[in-house]
Amino acid sequence: DGGITQSPKYLFRKEGQNVTLSCEQNLNHDAMYWYRQDPGQGLRLIYYSQIVNDFQKGDIAEGYSVSREKKESFPLTVTSAQKNPTAFYLCASSIQLLETQYFGPGTRLLVL
């Protein structure tokens, strides 16, 4: 079955620690995205990638980093510089940049 997967479902971060959220898709989509969702707010774009080996900052990229070494993978690292990382993180992909996006199930990040 084609789809987009995220792992883990829940992730706990200690102070000063970097953590990496996984996002994998087997839809053969060129574009991939990372969003952050906070209660009472709309989804906000962290980073996006139009094609492999390319990525661009979104609206709230500070404290985050990404890589796109393979077409099917777009991991997000939440660095210690992100002071308020507790949120629900959603990964999405689309055939091309302006097309309908397909979302993963999300990762909930909590700070210990």
Partner 1 sequence: KNEVEQSPQNLTAQEGEFITINCSYSVGISALHWLQQHPGGGIVSLFMLSSGKKKHGRLIATINIQEKHSSLHITASHPRDSAVYICAVRFNFGNEKLTFGTGTRLTIIP
- State the nearest-atom distance from the C-beta of 104 to partner 1, in Å: 8
Q: Which is nearer to partner 1, 45 or 111 (CB)?
A: 45
Q: Which is nearer to partner 1, 80 or 106 (CB)?
A: 106
CA-CA-CA-CA torsion sign (2, 30, 67, 76): negative
Q: How far apart are CA 52 and CA 66, in angstroms?
A: 12
Residues near partner 1 (CB under 8 A): 40-45, 48, 50, 56, 58-59, 88, 90, 92, 97-98, 100-106, 108
Q: Which is nearer to partner 1, 17 or 53 (CB)?
A: 53
Q: Which is nearer to partner 1, 22 or 50 (CB)?
A: 50
Q: How far apart are CA 34 and CA 23, in angstroms?
A: 9
